[in-house]
Amino acid sequence: MTPASPDPAEPAPCPSERGAEVDVWLEAGREGRCFTYLDSRQLGVDLGDLVVVRLRGRRMHGLVMDRRISSPVDRGQVSGREAPRRHLEAIEALVQPAAVDPLWFGWVEAMAVHCHMSSFRMLKAALPPGWLGQRQSHQAEPRRLWWIQLESSAINPQNLPQRQADLQAALAAGGGGAWQRDLQAAGFGSGLVNGLIKRGLIRREKRQPIDASKGLSCSDACDQDLEVPQSLTVEQQEVVEAFQSQPLGTGMLLWGVTGSGKTEVYLQLAERELQAGRHCLILTPEIGLIPQLVDRFRRRFGTKVLEYHSGCSDRERVSTWRQGLTAAKPLVVVGTRSAVFLPLAPLGLIVLDEEHDSSYKQESPMPCYHARDMAMDRARRTGARVVLGSATPSLVSWKNLAPQGQLALARLTRRISDQPLPPVHVVDMRQELADGHRRLISRPLMERLSALPEAGEQAVVLVPRRGYSSFLSCRSCGEVVQCPNCDVALTVHRSRQGHQWLRCHWCDHRAEVESSCHQCGSKAFKPFGAGTQRVMEHLVEELQGLRLLRFDRDSTGGRDGHRRLLEQFAAGEADVLVGTQMLAKGMDLPRVTLAAVLAADGLLHRPDLQAGEQSLQLLMQLAGRAGRGERPGHVLVQTYCPDHPVIHHLVDGRYGEFLKEEACLRHEAGLVPYSRACLLRLSGDSAAVTATAAAVLAEQIKPLCDAQGWCLVGPAPAPIARVAGRSRWQLLLHGPEESPLPLPSGSTLWNGLPRGVSLAVDPDPIQL
């Protein structure tokens, strides 16, 4: 029997009847707060569980932080408090038992400090959307998926190619229909499906799966016809062996030219980890690259492969997360940067493909984290190992090579196909102008484009995304106005009254806009950077007679959007695929023989901290799109700066030389990664209030900066000073390499902000 309460005013039932008292961490303020609830429904909740409770009448998801069985007697004796027992509300439901384990949580807390974020917010960002915090009232519509249906009229067609016949037989055997994703998993690629659609044997339509998470998982049958690994080339074999001898908790930079078999190496490393009973995480920077990567991993590992990225519905993400928590067998998860948080244990391998890509950095909302840093830290703590793969490694990783740094280096120098990389032809746009040719498309490019249809070939044309900021340049001699102190182009700013001035975002140097060139006196001296939209309109006019397809964020919605457009293009529905940066990334289209850039200048002179490096990476990647099939490819670059080092190295293809030179230059100029930076971004509805808040913040931080040897630049309007009606201001801090950020801890910075102004702290920013 349990002892009766000594106080008749407090008729407490026995603890086992009442249930335990549970502290639940809930979304309240930046830091979150713990509130006490009662497990009166006997759900048996425990530390690390996610539960549903009510706070002021609203349903919330919270994390169980503490749990105790305490009778009022015990409480009185222990705490000495005699206050009458409060009424405790019940825990309503258990969302997920053991959602957060202490080791994983310790890592997330450390990352929160790294990102200058509260632990609660960090945890909320790490968990699948909707798992922690206030519950969304509207339940998201489940995503619709492609359903492939055999046409009933089409029975026993003759002379089908073998694989198409296989697909048809598989569909018939499965009752006449299947989800395209399951077919893909079973090794029937989209090309085969398209083949049968063209023959009128099947049709494809969007349907709603009964349960998205169930509808996607394919039966064990998919695990039967798995692809066997390629036998590795000597170089690949060496990489695999080098990796195997790496200590646990470390990383390796895999620098391999495009088509050198990096993905095959990932596959085989993953296979070894799976055999050893450890999970694998395969990350890619862009959601557009997910389908082909998933296809390749599914062909090899079947149902062990899961996806986790923003193209998944919330439900799918939760389902993958849950499988990570409970999996009996090791998994391979293919995802974008947020997948780095998945709770996989034991974790053996984390691959970041295209590790140089800036999409691995989350810029907004906070936490502004870099998946590469996260992966390295996670590996260190858990004994996993990291592979950073790229044809054009980032300067940051290159600088981090052993013996000074932490990364081992492995190289793949030869393409599997032994095809040479396509030659690069540079078109000097200054000459075009001098010859009186003022079109967007130069004569050499026009010539090549118009020859495409007859040859049955295709081209991709990159239009750099609108230099969201512009710089001042001379169309006659190519001169660009640079900061006298830094290796950075000055940015043109416009006030609302139309006044223009120049500013360096790195050191705050300011200058007037001039109307003629200092070098050559030309009057063709003006801001550079037309909008993508306008360029597209001009292109349509200039390329009459060619069939164009547009590939950018506006024309490709989500995962299927990419796939559909690329399928259309691959099926020959257009001659030219025109698009922004996304175009350069990873697509494999055998009929593309020409890759062209309209105005490389828009890339070269962005005010970003790594503009040169990023443009060379992008251009080399774009070059890799041409000549992947039988016919050799070529690359054509239009620019006003043919002598820019980036253009030189693009032509000679010596990326390593570029890295060395760039490292020297940046080291001397004290630019990242040979210094550290941090950007504080403010935005608000009112320009005046936001500007004042920025000034107040600067005053608050200045003494800390001075004390720690950091430099404070600004406050200043952001390069795009207004977005979606909100004014944007920023403070840039830069200081010595490896030194901590000169910022007060906790939420001090946010406490003084006026209403309606928001602040984000972006440590080690990539874009200004």
Residues that bind Zn ion (CB under 5 A): 474, 476-477, 479, 483, 485-486, 504, 506-507, 509, 517, 519-520, 522
Q: Which one of ligand ADP, Zn ion, none interacts with residue 232, CB within 5 to 8 A by kind?
A: ligand ADP
- Our finding on whether 73 is near ligand ADP (CB under 6 A) is no
- In the sheet that holds 576-579, the strands lie side by side as 424-428, 634-639, 592-597, 458-462, 576-579, 548-551
Cβ neighbours of residue 645 closer than 8 Å, sequence gap 6 or more = 612, 658, 661, 662
Distance of alpha carbon 208 from alpha carbon 682, whole angstroms: 41
Least distance (Å) between residue 412 CB and ligand ADP: 7
Least distance (Å) between residue 246 CB and ligand ADP: 20
Q: What are phi and psi of 119, to 5 degrees?
A: -60, -40
Distance of alpha carbon 434 from alpha carbon 200, whole angstroms: 54
Least distance (Å) between residue 263 CB and ligand ADP: 3
Q: Which is nearer to Zn ion, 424 or 641 (CB)?
A: 641
Beta bridge partners of 461: 578, 596
When binding is defined by CB under 6 A, the residue of 232, 520, 687, 749 that contacts ligand ADP is: 232
Q: Which one of ligand ADP, Zn ion, none interacts with residue 400, CB within 5 to 8 A by kind?
A: none
- Cβ–Cβ under 8 Å, residues 467 and 602: yes
Q: Look up tokens 């940015």; give the residue.
A: 491
Least distance (Å) between residue 248 CB and ligand ADP: 25
191-230 residues near ligand ADP, rule: CB under 6 A: 230
3-state DSSP assignment of residue 306: strand
Q: Which is nearer to ligand ADP, 349 or 647 (CB)?
A: 349
3-state DSSP assignment of residue 36: strand
- Cβ–Cβ under 8 Å, residues 495 and 502: no
| Cα end-to-end span (Å), the chain | 68
**Joined tokens for residue 604:** 């070269």
- Cβ–Cβ under 8 Å, residues 419 and 259: yes
Least distance (Å) between residue 381 CB and ligand ADP: 28
3-state helix, strand, coil in the chain (%, to 5): 35, 25, 40
Q: What is the DSSP letter of 164?
A: H
When binding is defined by CB under 6 A, the residue of 12, 154, 416, 689 that contacts ligand ADP is: 416
Distance of alpha carbon 39 from alpha carbon 36, whole angstroms: 10
Q: Which is nearer to ligand ADP, 128 or 291 (CB)?
A: 291
When binding is defined by CB under 6 A, the residue of 168, 184, 213, 236 that contacts ligand ADP is: 236
Distance of alpha carbon 280 from alpha carbon 274, whole angstroms: 7
252-311 residues near ligand ADP, rule: CB under 6 A: 256, 258-264
Q: Which is nearer to ligand ADP, 188 or 369 (CB)?
A: 188
When binding is defined by CB under 6 A, the residue of 134, 149, 233, 700 that contacts ligand ADP is: 233
Least distance (Å) between residue 530 CB and Zn ion: 19
Q: Which one of Zn ion, ligand ADP, none interacts with residue 259, CB within 5 to 8 A by kind?
A: ligand ADP
Single-letter amino acid code for the residue at 247: P
Q: What are phi and psi of 616, to 5 degrees?
A: -65, -40
Least distance (Å) between residue 713 CB and Zn ion: 9
How many residues make contact with ligand ADP (CB under 6 A)? 13
Q: Which is nearer to Zn ion, 461 or 671 (CB)?
A: 671
Q: Which is nearer to ligand ADP, 118 or 260 (CB)?
A: 260
**Joined tokens for residue 760:** 């984000």
Least distance (Å) between residue 359 CB and ligand ADP: 17
Least distance (Å) between residue 229 CB and ligand ADP: 9
Q: What are phi and psi of 129, to 5 degrees?
A: -55, 135
Q: Which one of ligand ADP, Zn ion, none interacts with residue 485, CB within 5 to 8 A by kind?
A: Zn ion
Q: Which one of ligand ADP, Zn ion, none interacts with residue 230, CB within 5 to 8 A by kind?
A: ligand ADP
Distance of alpha carbon 324 from alpha carbon 331, whole angstroms: 8
What residues line the site for ligand ADP (CB under 6 A)? 230, 232-233, 236, 256, 258-264, 416
